[in-house]
Structure 1
Amino acid sequence: MEKIFRVLECTDHQKVTCATFMLQGEANMWWKTFRKILEAQDPVITWAKFLEALYENFFPESLRERKEVEFLYLTQGSDSVMAYKKKFEELAWFALAHIDTDAKKAKKFLRGLNPQLKGSIVVLKLRSYAEVLERALLLEDSQRGTIQGNSSKVQGKRPIDSQHSRDDRPQRHQRTHYEQTTQTPCRTCGKHHSGQCRQNSDNCYRCGG
């Protein structure tokens, strides 16, 4: 409504009349009672007085101060740059005195960024809020691309199953030993072997030659 008032260049009286006409429910009941109190103090109710009374009832100063402190200590944390920007601009309204210039706003936004982003932007000495925001978004995209690329490389590698290889060897040995022990001993030499016994021959035990 204040945007409309600025466009139409409304007077204080017109602002109060139009704003109170739009009140509904609890707010409308409040105004019916409080209007008499204000008129008893001064028949002329200015827009500034109306806003002060409205905020005091529905948005007390203690809550506004709490929002201001929340803005002053706001940091990016685990949020993305865009999520941090959204919170920053929502809370900025409660601390306009701290960011009354674009340079102050840029400095406050930069101060709350994560260290890995802030360190790369501080050296650029940017003075514009829009420039700091744009640089933070570019750096975030670059870092995200690097992390995703490294992750893909790690996933593409197939580790060697050394434990599986080690386990195979004793199993083969066990099967050979089992096969040997299940054979019937040779009646001529008393040993375990396959084929014809060559103990009493001149042939080679290995090749039979």
Structure 2
Amino acid sequence: MHGLVEQFLKLRPPKFAGMGDPEEAESWIDELHKAFELLRCSEKEKVTLATYQLQGNANHWWKVKEFLQLQQTNLTVDQYEVKFAQLSRYAPRLIENPVDRAKRFRDGLKLNIRSQLVALNLKDYNELYE
């Protein structure tokens, strides 16, 4: 991946801050697509490289979206909790209520874990995590 990032940056792709008109966003996407085609990037590589070019509001928006879509999947509960804590900084309003914080954490857990916790009806984040 390191070599791909170097090649990508040599192309001097544009940054995107999420300000301005929609045409600016379309232009940014078009320029990135050119670089992706030249470098023959996979879908995963495209996401990684594109997010590297986000700045300001656009970067903040991306991290909020990442928080909203966070799922435990193949992470341990401890790894999931670390990622949850890191990303939750970008969406403080979504978790300012302790009950909402606990519910959002629970809803991202694997189904087999989540189904056991729903029955306990835990509303405290720390109790839920433990």
Q: Please tell me the TM-score bracket, short chain as reference.
A: 0.5 to 0.7
Whose RCO is larger (CA < 8 A, sep 6+)?
2
Give the secondary structure class of the aligned counterpart of 1:69: helix
Q: Does 1:81 align with 2:81?
A: no
Runs of 4+ residues deviating >4 angstroms: none
- Between the aligned partners of 2:78 and 2:103, the Cα distance in structure 1 is 17
- Between the aligned partners of 2:55 and 2:117, the Cα distance in structure 1 is 37
- Between the aligned partners of 1:97 and 1:130, the Cα distance in structure 2 is 19
The aligned counterpart of 2:14 is none
Q: Deviations over 1:170-200 (max 9, x none)?
A: xxxxxxxxxxxxxxxxxxxxxxxxxxxxxxx
Letter in 2 for 1:66: W
Identity %: 31
Within 5 Å, give how 1:63-82 maps onto structure 2.
Answer: 63-82=59-78
CA RMSD of aligned residues (A): 1.3
1:101 to partner: Cα distance:
1.1
Structure 2 unaligned runs (5+)?
Answer: 1-53
Match of 1:112 among 88, 108, 114: 108
Tell me the matched-pair count.
77
Within 5 Å, give how 1:1-209 maps onto structure 2.
Answer: 60-134=56-130
Letter in 2 for 1:107: K
Q: Deviations over 1:49-90 (max 9, x none)?
A: xxxxxxxxx950110000000000100000000000000000
Q: Deviations over 1:123-158 (max 9, x none)?
A: 111100001101xxxxxxxxxxxxxxxxxxxxxxxx
TM-score, length basis structure 1? 0.36
